[in-house]
Amino acid sequence: MRTLTGLQPSGKQHLGNYFGAMRPAVELQESGEAFYFIADYHAMTSTHDPGELRENVRDLAIDFLACGLDPEKAVFWRQSDVPEVNELAWILSTVCPMGLLERCHSYKDKVARGIAPSHALFAYPVLMAADILLFDSNEVPVGDDQKQHLEVTRDLVIKMNERYGEGTLVMPEPIIREAVAKVPGLDGQKMSKSYNNTLPIFGEEKPLRKMVMKIVTDSTPVEDPKPVEGSVILQLYKLLASDADYQAMVADHQAGGTGYGDFKKRLWEAYWEFFAPMRARRAEIAADPASVDQVLAAGAARARQEAAVVLDRVRATVGLR
């Protein structure tokens, strides 16, 4: 069984990235074949500064390794180091109906948020399909925001196999991780860089503490019980604290007599302690940048070997060989 996950290098990784993609990926590397890549081609739809893109790629590589990705257990590479993905994307585009892409809500959402419309932004799902299909991926972990794109991938597999013969491409199955949608931002909306409401997993202590203390709450007096339903503090605390500590905070919300400032302090302590081992590991990795380059280069070499098998099969099937 082969699992594939791609993360876009679009800035500092936050709790939503960690619990939605990074931790599940680390867990999956313990069973079956794990293929993980840094989606820098995709990032070019919104990041146009070369220096920023390079920095984001390196930071994401370091973060992922610090969070437990093991290059001995998983293939880990930079998307642009495997150019075969672009050839497969072109082949897929020859069977992709315009209407399939026009129905994708992600393009409209991004344009509405101010990202300049472009062919790359519009055709994003086709490149994502190529990312998945180039490695005969069996399973792809996805959250709510990517489910539609995976359906596009599956539609393209059907169209390719109908036109060129069964077995041309392998049909991937989604692994739906509902936890992705349950990581709230500091303002109560879904945690997202687009909303500027994220809590980074790494950074300096003082700024991060200030971010936690600025979490939006209501005006319930200290002495009164606090609402449990929809509490951003409780939702984040549940991810970071033990079950016993979480239940204790719920009880304190219901009992009254404790202010939101105290609850935020508990959340801060749990958050800082949770990522302490990863912060230490990150410092070690960052101190040896050459080792990161070696990991990505070795991963790209392995990924290209696997990609060549699939692309050669597809080329022959469609008449390019």
- Inter-residue contact 210 to 244 (CB < 8 Å): no
Nearest Cα neighbor of 122 from 91, 152, 147 is 152
Given phi > 0 = left and psi -120 to 50 = alpha, else beta, which region is 143?
Answer: beta
Quick check: 5 and 174 in contact, CB under 8 A? no
Residues known to be catalytic: 110, 190, 193
The DSSP secondary-structure symbol of 230 reads T
Paired residues of 173 in beta bridges: 139
List of residues 6+ apart from 145 with CB closer than 8 A: 106, 180
Residue 215, amino acid: I
**DSSP letter (8 states) at residue 220:** -
Please give the distance of CA 28 from its chain centroid, rounded to a whole number.
14
Could you tell me the CA-to-CA distances from 118 to 7, 49, 101 in Å, in that order? 21, 16, 13
Q: What are the backbone dihedrals phi and psi of residue 213, each rounded to the nearest 5 degrees, phi first? A: -70, -10
Distance from C-alpha of 155 to C-alpha of 165, rounded to nearest angstrom: 15
